[in-house]
Structure 1
Amino acid sequence: MIANNDDCYAEIVTQIGEAKSLAAMQKIAGEICTVYNLANIAYHALYIPGAKVFNPILLLTYDPGWIARYKDNDYFKIDPVVVSGTKSFLPLDWANLDRESAIARSFFAEADRYHVGRQGITLPVRGGGGERALFTITSNMSMREWDKRRIGYMKEFQMIAHYMHDRIVELSGYRDTKPKPLLSAREMTCLEFAAQGAAVKQIAGKLKITDRAVRLFLSSACAKLDCANIHQAVAKTVSLEMLRP
């Protein structure tokens, strides 16, 4: 069980890395909801190279009745979250979604009956292997409380989303078993600080090197790991057990 304290983030990352099955990941998702006072977490793989089906992976804490209803009616095609999320590279606040059309009103009214969550953030995830996924957190807390927590959630779950994505894809058997990339000591150190939330300037200060040097080390690490950004690189090194944030 994830403890509800200041160290919960590190514990979440550790448990994600140690998960041995999708069932274990499902349990972790439920515990994260409890720790962060969330209604639900939804992980939805949209595209994975090599997968022969649409929406190849779903890991959801929603009511089973809603999941069945969603699949039976193929709501993937009308869900404003999925429709908007597939087109975006940036975090999507549900407050900015279409809720005025008849289809959207009907969809959200039905989702509310299953306690999906009135507020939400959806984070598009681009995996190192070319995967595309959506990671969503929802809440039924008051708008005042949600507004206080939203920015912090967006920052923290950006990293958690990548950790979970990488591990879920691996557990689902879609990860190639290639040799681990060989990173230099400086590249690993910069990634370690980045995993702890340090900005480039902070890393430079800790290592007593220039900002430009830090960016070069991070850039070369991303290239060696075949990752498009630092979030992906950190998640990949964690999943490969090269790094413990």
Structure 2
Amino acid sequence: MDGDLRSLIDMTDAAHDERMIKSALKTFSHACGFERFAYLQTEGLEVRTFNSYPEEWQGVYLESHYSRIDPVVTEAKRRMEMFSWTADNWPARRSSQLKCFREQAIGYGIRSGVTIPVEGSFGSTMMLTFASSAQAADVSKLQDAQKAIQAVLAIHYRLKIIAATTIVAPKRLLSSREAVCLMWATKGKHAPEIAMLTGINPRTVQHYLDKARRKLEAATVPQLVAIAKDRGLV
């Protein structure tokens, strides 16, 4: 299974789009005896997911904010190490919502599995889950915790790179002057300093930064810098 994990990491790194990553994860899942996979990133109450679960279940999960009560997510954040689980052991009697979640998950073929959590930046947590409809999943083929963590990180950063290189809507493209002013802002320069460095009037520099903020929907220049870096614009 060590070779399969290595192959998953290599295929992820070579992926040009989400479809290729999903294909690599499906191949790996089936090789390990699982039927589904789910990559989940949580930051506060915000949830991002990339998975092969039934679309109807994905909608129910997100609309019902199930990530807040999901025993797998809760356990992943608590343990921060690879672990196996089964829905039969979830404490369904604690609340009607948790009981409903358990019954729905099993109904959609998610009854057991293994989850690999990894601590991210700014309080975020990434986790990769392989799930089965069996009462107890066979996790014997997924034992190399270190390589499993490498796989989660490879998927996380590849998805970020793909998102950053996605075509930006024309109305949100920065002009050359806006991009230059933004680049200096990412280096910690304020409008008067940027004006001296570029030979542009300070008020005009501020105008370019304001236009860039509106295009990228940022409230402040620091937020503009963060968004630009996250999207690979600078």
**TM-score bucket (shorter structure):** 0.5 to 0.7
Assess, with a 3 A threshold, how the Cα gap between structure 1 residues 43 and 151 changes in structure 2: closer, same or farther: closer
Q: Which has the larger radius of gyration?
A: 2
What is the root-mean-square deviation of aligned Cα atoms in Å? 3.1
Aligned to 2:131: 138
**Superposed displacement of residue 129, structure 1:** 8.0
Aligned to 2:102: 108
**Superposed displacement of residue 70, structure 1:** 1.1
Alpha-carbon distance in 2 for matches of 1:81, 1:121: 9
Match of 2:13 among 13, 17, 30: 17
TM-score by length of 1: 0.56
**Superposed displacement of residue 84, structure 1:** 2.9
Alpha-carbon distance in 2 for matches of 1:84, 1:9: 23
Aligned to 1:237: none
Alpha-carbon distance in 2 for matches of 1:76, 1:134: 12
Assess, with a 3 A threshold, how the Cα gap between structure 1 residues 131 and 31 changes in structure 2: closer, same or farther: same
Alpha-carbon distance in 2 for matches of 1:93, 1:100: 21
Query: Partner amino acid for 1:119?
Result: S
Alpha-carbon distance in 1 for matches of 2:68, 2:121: 26
Alpha-carbon distance in 2 for matches of 1:77, 1:130: 15
Alpha-carbon distance in 2 for matches of 1:171, 1:45: 16
In the alignment, is the contact (CA less than 8 A) between 2:38 and 2:51 conserved in 1?
Answer: yes
Assess, with a 3 A threshold, how the Cα gap between structure 1 residues 142 and 68 changes in structure 2: closer, same or farther: closer
Aligned to 2:43: 47
Alpha-carbon distance in 2 for matches of 1:110, 1:83: 18
Q: How many matched pairs?
A: 162
In the alignment, is the contact (CA less than 8 A) between 2:22 and 2:51 conserved in 1?
Answer: yes
Percent same amino acid at aligned positions?
Answer: 18
Alpha-carbon distance in 2 for matches of 1:87, 1:61: 25
Alpha-carbon distance in 1 for matches of 2:148, 2:107: 26
Residue aligned with 1:146, SS: coil
**Alignment gaps of 5+ in structure 1:** 175-245
Assess, with a 3 A threshold, how the Cα gap between structure 1 residues 7 and 122 changes in structure 2: closer, same or farther: closer
Bigger mean CA offset, 104-113 vs 125-134: 125-134
Query: Partner amino acid for 2:64?
Result: N
In the alignment, is the contact (CA less than 8 A) between 1:125 and 1:134 conserved in 2?
Answer: yes
Query: Partner amino acid for 1:81?
Result: V
**Alignment gaps of 5+ in structure 2:** 166-234
